[in-house]
Chain A
Amino acid sequence: MADLGERTLDKAFVMRGLTKTYGEGRTAVHALRGVDLEIGRGEIDVLLGPSGSGKSTFLNILGGLDTATSGEAWFGDQCLTEMNDRQLTLYRRNHVGFVFQFYNLMPSLTARENVELVTEIAESPMEADEALHLVGLGKRLDHFPAQLSGGEQQRVAIARAVAKQPDVLFCDEPTGALDSTTGRAVLRVLQDVNERLGTTVLIITHAAATAAMADRVIHFADGAIREVVINEKRLAAEEIEW
């Protein structure tokens, strides 16, 4: 295991034989059936695949939200699959940002406060205002989620995720609830973050066209990786055909 650890140092993530099984016996669901993959630092990777193919499960395990049934997952020299709850929490706190389909903002906090929620506990965060400027919401700082549109809420969620200057950004269908224009704007923000901060970005999407903005496209099928396609050239978010 030690040699695996050394080999992972130049990678953001290295996974070996990762499986996840929900339930037992006859009702058991094999969400992941042995995933081997390496993800480079600073990459934008897009995860595609039919519904139920295990994309979210995979992302959740990498993000420290869920535990694997077997196999290993390394983040640099840290073995995620051996961490306890406390260590996973610290990992999320210090290294990871999440963006979900349904934004998951705190309705009782303003946009700025939602971001500050994270900057308060992060190691070297940026200013909350700066993060909101980054996503183009510099003028809506003191609005509550109920006063923002869906796209704006999602951008607040991204600001919240990037404000801690995370090493990795996990996005599970970030544009799923948005129209194409707004969706593109959100993807643009993700691209900006990747370029400016060197953040590794993993995006799950059902819009196959999104794949054009990725360094690599990872195709999931039935709990395993079917193929990994490397893009010679990344498109800018605006250029994506929806």
Chain B
Amino acid sequence: MVSPLHAKLARDLWRIKGQALAIMLVIGIGVALQVMMTGFVASLSQTRDAYYERHQFAQIFAPVARAPEYVVNQLREIPGVGAVQSRISGMALIDIPTRDIPVSAQILSLPTHGMRHLNEIRLTAGRKPEAGKSAEIVLLDSFATAHNIVPGDQIKVTLNGARRTFDVVGTAQSPEFIYYAAPGEMIPDDARFGVIWIGRPALAAALDLEGAFNEALLTLLRGAVEEAVLEEVDRVLAPYGAPGAYGLDDHPSDRFLSEEIAGLEISATNVPPVFMLVAAFLLYIVTSRTIQSEREEIGLMKAFGYTDREVSGHYVQLVVIIALAGALFGCLLGVVLGRITVPVYTTYYKLPFLLFRLELSSFTSGILTSVFVATLGGAFALRRVFKLMPAEAMRPAAPPDFSKAGNVGSNMMRLLDQPSRMVVRRLFRQPWRMLGAVAGIGAGMALSLSMLIIYEGFDTVLDRTFNVIDRSDAAVSFTHSAPIKTLLELERLPGVTQAEPVRNVAVVLRNGRRSHAGAVTGLSPDAELYRALDTNVAPIRLPDKGIVLSKPLANLLQVGIGDPVLVDIREGSQLAVTTRVAGIAESLIGSPAYMDLAALNRLMTEPQRVSGAYIAIKDGAEAQVYAALKDMPIVAGVSLRREAVQAFEEVMNQGAGFSRFVMGFMAFAITFGIIYNVARVAQDERARDLASLRVMGFFRGETAFVLLGELGVVTLVALPLGVFLGSGLTNLIAAGFSTDLYQIPVVYAPKAYGIAVAVVVGAAMASGWLVWRDLGRSDITLALKTRE
């Protein structure tokens, strides 16, 4: 037999089904996010680790200008070093028949012997080059796919100034290129990132590196201190023109992937609790309302001899059922969403496989936290059960006392009609309840607002980067630093309207123990096509002394204007020079450092040299210019602004677009959950008053005003609070997720505010409509029969 209390439980649940569903949704989303994000963390990190291990991904990378092969043995002797392998790495230009300009690609040597080696490639099609066949190459899988190149095809490659035809015998992935983006860009573009693997003798011959190497790959023994090994490697390689060895932390591909995983971990621990708190708040509202309207039943049960524990237990069950149902729904949703979204990662990260890994612990922790949090929310309301004396509970409740609220603004009151007075008095009479509702709605809005602002920020990144900082049509990079007069050649090309010099120099910037391996960009002080911007987004005129650091870089090095910075030059002169910070620049992608070109050249003791140029092209003359650039041997690569913008936008519209949608839905769900509950509780509390109004001859619309007026006021008050909290939250999120790789800008985005307001107002109207619909269905006489 079903106990009467269980029957009551079922009926209570049915009565508040709308609210219960809304709360389950909020809990469900929280748990789903946790399940999904911890699943992503597990999927990505386990796949990465397995991939690295199986393909013997190196842990230290040591580029040199040219070192004789026997130096490898010296490296092997460094304590803590496991395997060492040398290779040759260079740049090549790949001719793509369908494109006007060649694509610059990295070209890497493959060891000839069939032994396992470091950074082993993973063939996706075809085979490796055969020994002695110097025309055979393997191409990076994503690049080949982007250009429809398959094994058996031939491609034309310019290598060290000489154009040759190669046979593509295979395509491959590599742990080295899980994530890649052209320098200064954030978004990978498969079509513009090429890697060629070729037999070592062939590459050595082409680059004049027979019996020598220009990059060493090392692994560390367990327990080795990376810092110490790096220092030793630098010492050994110093005589051979080494810009400095670096570890995985500075490896672009691993860096991005690791940042992503770390970011996900932060989100997985921080985002779900927000949903849980909202759920706790909602359960508090619902439980306190239920208890308030059932004080007689509670008194009765107590009078019959039920203990406080048993009575509370009854209500806790209600809360726990909602929490459990929500959590189970969340687990399911998390798995489904995880399965659906995990492939999105494989478009950014070129992993051999990526399965959505379920973390069972996220299930248990999701369920446990929901139940805990729900019980907490319920328990707050349940304190009242304990306080209630049976006799008191069974006495008819006195009408709530509004006499104190009555004095509030009595002059103002005179201007209002009775229904408006009812609204106003209630707001003042139960300020805490109202403030709670305002805070809840405000928090929901803050959540949507910050998500919206941050997504708007991506548009700002795009706009700042491509319309304010870089206004050129193309960036041309040279194979090696060239005299500045090369620029004249570029300017003279038909169709080129402007050419401005740039010199990028690999450096390590140091301030005491803090250091950053990167580059200094030398620009002419009056540059127009590519400019450094100050923090007010105004162009900076580069001073003829000192260095201008981007904000993230200044933060990283902990220096301000006027502070000294050691510039450790890693090419050419190899000097280490101290200079002063002359300015701080705004930057959203990467963490650049700028200098006046002449000043940089003075530092390098190589006057009048450039490493590339930014050019502006007359409309319609693009093809002509590319054709001309193709024939200039000094040109190593041309990157088109148009293509970079396109790649960025594509990503924003695909993966990010989907998560934008999901986030938007979640923000709406949470806001709606709060507002709907507030409206329902108000309706429930006012059922009798509303019925009385109907009895007296008020129309449904007039009656609804009393209820919806209150909801309206609460919503309106919540809007500014939401804006305020949202701005604060955005700053927190932006600060938390910005790295020296990319910064999340906090912008004033009217659209984001507009949408957030619309979401709140929309949710309020939807809740209002649901309540209104119910008002039409409800039976006037029923509400009057019972005494509250």
A residues sitting closer than 8 Å to B (CB atoms) are 56, 60, 63, 65-66, 85-86, 89-94, 96, 98, 100, 102, 104-110, 113, 116-118, 120-122, 142-147, 160
Closest Cβ–Cβ distance, residue A20 to chain B (whole Å) = 11
Selected from B406, B419, B694, the residue in CB contact (under 8 A) with A89 is: B694
Of all chain A residues, the one with the shortest Cβ separation from B410 is: A142
Write 10 A-B pairs (CB below 8 A) sorted by A numbering: A89-B694, A92-B695, A102-B787, A107-B689, A108-B400, A108-B689, A109-B418, A122-B697, A144-B401, A146-B402
Q: Given A93-B698, A145-B399, list of 18 further CB < 8 A pairs?
A: A85-B700, A89-B697, A91-B697, A93-B697, A100-B784, A104-B691, A106-B689, A106-B692, A107-B401, A107-B689, A108-B689, A117-B696, A120-B417, A121-B697, A144-B403, A146-B398, A146-B402, A146-B403
Selected from A108, A113, A143, the residue in CB contact (under 8 A) with B429 is: A108
Indicate if the CB atoms of A65 and B780 lie closer than 8 Å: yes
Binds A, one of B276-284, B337-345, B420-428: B420-428
B781 within 8 A of A: yes
Given A66-B781, A113-B418, A120-B418: A108 touches B698 (CB 8 Å cut-off): no
In whole angstroms, what is the CA distance A110 to B401 when docked? 10
Indicate if the CB atoms of A113 and B421 lie closer than 8 Å: yes
Given A117-B696, A121-B697: A146 touches B422 (CB 8 Å cut-off): no
In whole angstroms, what is the CA distance A19 to B692 when docked? 25
In whole angstroms, what is the CA distance A92 to B696 when docked? 6
Indicate if the CB atoms of A107 and B400 lie closer than 8 Å: yes
- C-beta contact mask, B752-788 vs A, less than 8 Å → 1, else 0? 0000000000000000000000001001110010010
Query: What chain B residues lie within 8 Å of A143 (beta carbons)?
Result: 403
Given A100-B784, A120-B418: A105 touches B696 (CB 8 Å cut-off): no
Residue of A100, A109, A110, A143 with most partner-chain B CB within 10 A = A109
Query: What chain B residues lie within 8 Å of A92 (beta carbons)?
Result: 694-697
- Binding site secondary structure of chain B: helix
- C-beta contact mask, B323-358 vs A, less than 8 Å → 1, else 0? 000000000000000000000000000000000000
In whole angstroms, what is the CA distance A91 to B696 when docked? 10
Query: What chain A residues lie within 8 Å of B417 (beta carbons)?
Result: 120
Indicate if the CB atoms of A65 and B425 lie closer than 8 Å: no
Query: What chain B residues lie within 8 Å of A86 (beta carbons)?
Result: 699
Of all chain B residues, the one with the shortest Cβ separation from A160 is: B696
B688 within 8 A of A: yes
Query: What chain B residues lie within 8 Å of A144 (beta carbons)?
Result: 399, 401-403, 406
Residue of A66, A91, A108, A117 with most partner-chain B CB within 10 A = A108
Residue of A102, A106, A121 with most partner-chain B CB within 10 A = A106
B682 within 8 A of A: no
Given A108-B421, A147-B403: A94 touches B697 (CB 8 Å cut-off): yes
Indicate if the CB atoms of A109 and B422 lie closer than 8 Å: yes
B405 within 8 A of A: yes
Indicate if the CB atoms of A108 and B425 lie closer than 8 Å: yes
Of all chain A residues, the one with the shortest Cβ separation from B417 is: A120
Given A65-B780, A104-B784, A109-B425: A121 touches B406 (CB 8 Å cut-off): no
In whole angstroms, what is the CA distance A38 to B76 when docked? 115
Residue of B400, B417, B695 with most partner-chain A CB within 10 A = B695
Query: What chain B residues lie within 8 Å of A94 (beta carbons)?
Result: 697
Query: What chain A residues lie within 8 Å of B692 (beta carbons)?
Result: 104-106
Query: What chain A residues lie within 8 Å of B399 (beta carbons)?
Result: 105, 107, 144-146
Query: What chain A residues lie within 8 Å of B405 (beta carbons)?
Result: 108
Closest Cβ–Cβ distance, residue A188 to chain B (whole Å) = 23
Query: What chain A residues lie within 8 Å of B779 (beta carbons)?
Result: 66
Indicate if the CB atoms of B781 and A60 lie closer than 8 Å: yes
Indicate if the CB atoms of B402 and A107 lie closer than 8 Å: yes
Closest Cβ–Cβ distance, residue A165 to chain B (whole Å) = 13
Of all chain B residues, the one with the shortest Cβ separation from A105 is: B399
Residue of A56, A86, A117 with most partner-chain B CB within 10 A = A117
Selected from A91, A108, A122, the residue in CB contact (under 8 A) with B402 is: A108
In whole angstroms, what is the CA distance A122 to B698 when docked? 10
Query: What chain A residues lie within 8 Å of B776 (beta carbons)?
Result: 85
Of all chain B residues, the one with the shortest Cβ separation from A166 is: B697
In whole angstroms, what is the CA distance A222 to B429 when docked? 46
Query: What chain A residues lie within 8 Å of B698 (beta carbons)?
Result: 89, 93, 121
Indicate if the CB atoms of A110 and B695 lie closer than 8 Å: no
In whole angstroms, what is the CA distance A118 to B697 when docked? 8
In whole angstroms, what is the CA distance A113 to B419 when docked? 10
Closest Cβ–Cβ distance, residue A123 to chain B (whole Å) = 10
Closest Cβ–Cβ distance, residue A177 to chain B (whole Å) = 8
Closest Cβ–Cβ distance, residue B724 to chain A (whole Å) = 30
Selected from B400, B406, B418, B696, the residue in CB contact (under 8 A) with A98 is: B696
Query: What chain A residues lie within 8 Å of B429 (beta carbons)?
Result: 108
Query: What chain B residues lie within 8 Å of A117 (beta carbons)?
Result: 418-419, 693, 696
Closest Cβ–Cβ distance, residue B344 to chain A (whole Å) = 52
Indicate if the CB atoms of B696 and A93 lie closer than 8 Å: yes
- C-beta contact mask, B699-717 vs A, less than 8 Å → 1, else 0? 1101000000000000000
Indicate if the CB atoms of A118 and B406 lie closer than 8 Å: no
Query: What chain A residues lie within 8 Å of B425 (beta carbons)?
Result: 108-109
Of all chain A residues, the one with the shortest Cβ separation from B403 is: A144
Query: What chain B residues lie within 8 Å of A93 (beta carbons)?
Result: 696-698
Indicate if the CB atoms of A104 and B418 lie closer than 8 Å: no
In whole angstroms, what is the CA distance A102 to B784 when docked? 8
Closest Cβ–Cβ distance, residue B708 to chain A (whole Å) = 16
Residue of B400, B401, B688, B692 with most partner-chain A CB within 10 A = B692
Query: What chain A residues lie within 8 Å of B398 (beta carbons)?
Result: 146
Selected from A63, A66, A116, the residue in CB contact (under 8 A) with B418 is: A116
Closest Cβ–Cβ distance, residue B416 to chain A (whole Å) = 10
Of all chain B residues, the one with the shortest Cβ separation from A153 is: B399
In whole angstroms, what is the CA distance A94 to B697 when docked? 8
